[in-house]
Amino acid sequence: MATINKNLSDYDKTTVPNAKGFRFGIVVSEWNENITGGLYKGAVEALLENGAGEDDIITWQVPGSFELIYGCKRMIDTRQVDAVIAIGSVIQGETKHFDFVCEAVSQGIKDLNVLTDVPVIFCVLTDNTMQQAIDRSGGIHGNKGTEAAIVGIRMANLRRETK
């Protein structure tokens, strides 16, 4: 596992650009809300801790992870944001539905990164068990939402520096 011996919430604050002046979109799946809620909390806390203002964080909810793609696209099209964080959680079940959703969401977010000028950060947990998702959304492995927020700040800064 990629998260063994790694805490997803750990980062060196001195290497993170100040987020002041950036606008962030966060699109959150309501499916597995106990997981996505923890990821969202970690993302918002990290953005605020690194200088983002509360008014500079726009949050939308969508029903499930599959709908993150449309939500992120609409966020980019209708709000002036410097980065969008897509937060979701897909947990393996007994059918191939898991595979189809994970593939579609990862490809859709990749497509948004290629087709638009706004970075879309992939914060979608694709775990085999609920316990793995808990461990990565504020549990023993930290919070992937925190990690995604730091990536969002860095990518917003890269976007600004390369305009």
CA–CA separation, 86 and 28 (whole Å):
6
Q: What does the block give as tokens for 17?
A: 């650009």
For 12, residues 6+ apart whose C-beta sits below 8 A from its C-beta are none
Q: Which two tokens stand for residue 38?
A: 């923890």
**Token pair listed for 151:** 């990536």
User: Active site residue: 6, 20, 97, 160, which one?
Assistant: 97
**Separation between Cα atoms, residue 91 and residue 83, nearest integer Å:** 26
Please indicate whether residue 141 is annotated as part of the active site: no
Residue corresponding to tokens 């390369």: 162
Q: What are phi and psi of 144, to 5 degrees?
A: -60, -25
**Integer Cα distance of 60 and 120 in angstroms:** 14
DSSP assignments along 79-104, one per residue:
S--SEEEEEEEEE--SSTHHHHHHHH
Catalytic residue numbers, as ranges: 97
